[in-house]
């Protein structure tokens, strides 16, 4: 499928401080991408460079086959055919829903403008609110208006900057799914910026985990969780602990809990016969360790966090190591209790042994 957005080795700095470091990514037509990372990692700056609100010192940005900026050329934002949804929605308070949505359609005929506004009002489910003003709308409704306004001119690319951050958790989760459905229905190529993993997983087809101005891994949510390329991604995505292990063959790793087979080699750790007896760190996720009443392998409950259907237990093993286990909440064990556990790891990721 043809690429719509390309960032090729872009670099951006501010007062001699590197913000973006030779960042590269590619987004295909109709895909929804996401830049995910902690505060200060540079993800919003990348979005602003794509939009044209910030310049780059080197590299190149291409949208729909057209170069929009490099070190020697800069195309203003209004000529990039980009729509944008801001964190605070930025609706015009003196315009009603219909007029807010139609704001960017001034060059169209009245009939075309009316048709497009009516189409989008129906798509975002605000037919009954078309004459209301922003202060008369809920946060979720305002977000829908902002999305419809950005989609109205049919941009080549839609940028969304933390669009759900002002909403409560339950509304955020529901609207993130609805926004994905709308974007897919409109065949819109989009890129989202967020620090919320659940939001990223709900909306995006492909996600770039960012840290200190660089993309650590540009991949699907599944691969980020099960095949992280480095320790930062492994620790940032989901939950997990590292336990020491040792190769007993090229396809088997021994850890305190047992033998794990067919490991995924991360951080340039290459699969070869030379790995035998090599010390490594093994990533264990909470779902890799399950409760077993009949198991002789015991662990001490040292902490627990109720999650509704499940309880996240922090367990201490006999050798002093701690691991996490996600267990159905009808198994309600007390802190200080010993429980039976067993390995159920289908995806095993090994890392170079961390130097101390």
Q: Give the per-residue pLDDT at 87.
A: 85
Contact 225, 200 (CB under 8 A): no
pLDDT at 269 over 60: no
- Edge to edge, the sheet with strand 206-211 lists 82-85, 157-161, 190-194, 32-36, 206-211, 214-219
Q: Residue 122: its pLDDT value, please?
A: 95
Residue 126 pLDDT greater than 60, yes or no? yes
Which residue from 70, 71, 93, 67 is spatially nearest to 80, judged by alpha carbons?
Answer: 67
**What pLDDT, on the 0 to 100 scale, is given for residue 312?**
97
Q: How far apart are CA 248 and CA 233, in angstroms?
A: 26
Tell me the per-residue pLDDT of 200-230, one tens digit each, with 9 for 90 and over: 999 999 999 999 999 999 999 999 999 999 9
Which DSSP symbol is given to 34? E
- Report pLDDT for 1: 66
DSSP H stretches of helix in the chain: 43-51, 97-101, 110-123, 139-151, 169-185, 197-203, 221-226, 231-236
Strands 82-85 and 157-161, by their bridges, are parallel
Mean model confidence pLDDT for the chain: 92
- Segment 150-175 mean pLDDT: 90
pLDDT at 273: 47
Q: Is 78 helix (H, G, I), strand (E, B) or coil?
A: helix
Check residue 356 and give its pLDDT.
Answer: 58
Question: From residue 185, how far is each of 87, 179, 285, 321 by CA, in Å?
Answer: 23, 10, 35, 49
Over residues 273-324, the pLDDT tens digits come to 456 788 889 999 999 999 999 999 999 999 999 999 999 999 999 889 999 9
**Model confidence, pTM:** 0.90
């Amino acid at each position: 499928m043809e690429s719509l957005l390309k960032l090729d080795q872009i670099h951006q700095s501010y007062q001699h401080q590197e913000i973006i470091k030779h960042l590269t990514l590619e987004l295909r037509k109709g895909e929804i991408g996401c830049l995910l990372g902690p505060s200060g990692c540079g993800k919003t700056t990348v979005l602003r460079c794509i939009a044209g609100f910030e310049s780059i010192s080197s590299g190149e940005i291409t949208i729909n086959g057209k170069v929009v900026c490099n070190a020697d050329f800069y195309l203003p934002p209004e000529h990039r055919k980009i729509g944008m949804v801001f964190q605070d929605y930025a609706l015009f308070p003196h315009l009603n829903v219909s007029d807010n949505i139609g704001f960017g359609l001034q060059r169209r005929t009245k009939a075309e403008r009316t048709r497009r506004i009516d189409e989008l009002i129906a798509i975002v489910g605000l037919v009954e609110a078309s004459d209301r003003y922003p202060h008369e709308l809920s946060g979720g409704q305002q977000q829908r208006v902002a999305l419809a306004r950005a989609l109205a001119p049919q941009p080549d690319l839609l940028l969304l900057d933390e669009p759900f951050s002002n909403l409560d958790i339950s509304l955020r989760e529901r609207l993130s799914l609805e926004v994905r459905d709308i974007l897919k229905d409109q065949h819109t190529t989009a890129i989202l910026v967020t620090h919320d993993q659940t939001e990223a997983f709900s909306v995006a087809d492909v996600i770039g985990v960012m840290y200190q101005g660089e993309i650590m891994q540009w991949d699907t949510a599944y691969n980020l969780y099960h095949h992280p390329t480095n320790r930062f991604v492994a620790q940032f995505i989901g939950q997990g602990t590292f336990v020491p292990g040792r190769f007993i063959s090229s396809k088997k790793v021994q850890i305190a809990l047992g033998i794990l087979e067919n490991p995924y080699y991360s951080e340039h750790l290459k699969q070869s016969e030379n790995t035998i007896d090599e010390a490594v760190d093994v990533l264990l996720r909470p779902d890799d360790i399950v409760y077993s009443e009949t198991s002789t392998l015991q662990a001490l409950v040292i902490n627990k966090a109720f999650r509704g259907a499940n309880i996240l237990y922090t367990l201490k093993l006999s050798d002093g190591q701690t691991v996490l286990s996600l267990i159905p909440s009808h198994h309600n064990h007390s802190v200080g209790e010993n429980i039976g556990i067993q390995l159920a790891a289908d995806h095993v990721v090994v890392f170079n042994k961390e130097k101390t």
